[in-house]
Amino acid sequence: MALRLGDQAPDFTQDSSIGSLNLYEWAGDSWVVLFSHPADYTPVCTTELGRTAKLAKEFEKRNVKAVGLSVDSSESHKGWIEDINETQSTEVNFPIIADHDRKVSELYDMIHPNADTTLTVRSVFVIDPDKRVRMTLTYPASTGRNFDEILRVIDSLQLTDNYKVATPVDWKSGDDVVIVPTLTDEEELKRRFPKGYEAVRPYLRITPDPSR
């Protein structure tokens, strides 16, 4: 059965480009972006892993660790990493899981038989420090992932975990947010949102980013 939002992310121990990797131990208290690839030495995925490496500082400041996965071997991964580093002018600084026995792929429902019976689809899972699945995305093989969007969602999750707000359409970090409809006490509203808010409708109240 497919993982749903809020589900416990399955733990696993599997070989990787940096040796044996246990997800929970490796993640520690960090957020995790786990993303799968159909195979090594594929063009779109090469650009994606290069982009992930270049975003290392962005992930770090959000307390996020990235980990890739494909069904190829760790030795294949190591050779592919050399290609990624050379062609994308970067240095891959995160592990790639070698899911040769499809164990992780099955746990995370990454093999979709109607697309391919053996190779993993291009999925993304955002997992929080409590090891809960907070976001899932699955892309077609021909479409490169948008890592700016993945970072945007992480920014939204981390903000809304700490404040009683939600983020509106096309929101980016620092933009105005909306106050959750369940918050109605005026004294609490003043305390939580000292910059005030605009009530466009009783259920639609806009306020500046309370983290800033």
Distance CA 68, CA 32 (A): 11
Q: What is the pLDDT of residues 13-45, one digit of tens each?
A: 999 999 999 999 999 999 999 999 888 999 999
Fold designation for 163-207: Antioxidant, Horf6; Chain A, domain 2 (3.30.1020)
Asked whether residue 145 carries a pLDDT value surpassing 80, the answer given is: yes
What's the whole-model pTM score? 0.92
Residues with catalytic roles: 45
pLDDT at residue 109, rounded to an integer: 85
Domain 13-145 sits in CATH at 3.40.30.10
Distance CA 94, CA 2 (A): 26
Distance CA 25, CA 184 (A): 41
Q: What is the mean pLDDT of the chain?
A: 92
Q: Do domains 13-145 and 163-207 have the same CATH topology?
A: no
Q: What is the pLDDT of residues 148-175, one digit of tens each?
A: 999 999 999 999 999 999 999 999 999 9
Name the nearest CA neighbour of 193 among 211, 174, 205, 210: 210
Asked whether residue 209 carries a pLDDT value surpassing 90, the answer given is: yes
Are 105 and 36 in contact by the 8 Å Cβ rule? The answer is yes
pLDDT at residue 110, rounded to an integer: 82
Task: Characterize 164-202 residue by residue with b for buried, 16 or more Cβ atoms within 10 angstroms of its Cβ, and e for exposed.
Answer: bbebeeebebeeebbbeeeeeeeeebeebbeeebeeeee
pLDDT at residue 57, rounded to an integer: 97
Residue 116 confidence class, pLDDT cut points 50, 70, 90: low
Distance CA 95, CA 86 (A): 17
Helical packing angle, 147-162 and 43-54, nearest 10° = 50
Largest CA distance in the chain: 60
Distance CA 183, CA 180 (A): 6
Are 22 and 11 in contact by the 8 Å Cβ rule? The answer is yes
Domain locations in the chain as residue ranges: 13-145, 163-207
Q: Which residue has the tokens 């620092």?
A: 174
Distance CA 112, CA 94 (A): 26
Distance CA 139, CA 136 (A): 10
Residue 71 confidence class, pLDDT cut points 50, 70, 90: confident
Distance CA 91, CA 84 (A): 8
Helix boundaries (H) for 62-146? 74-88, 103-107
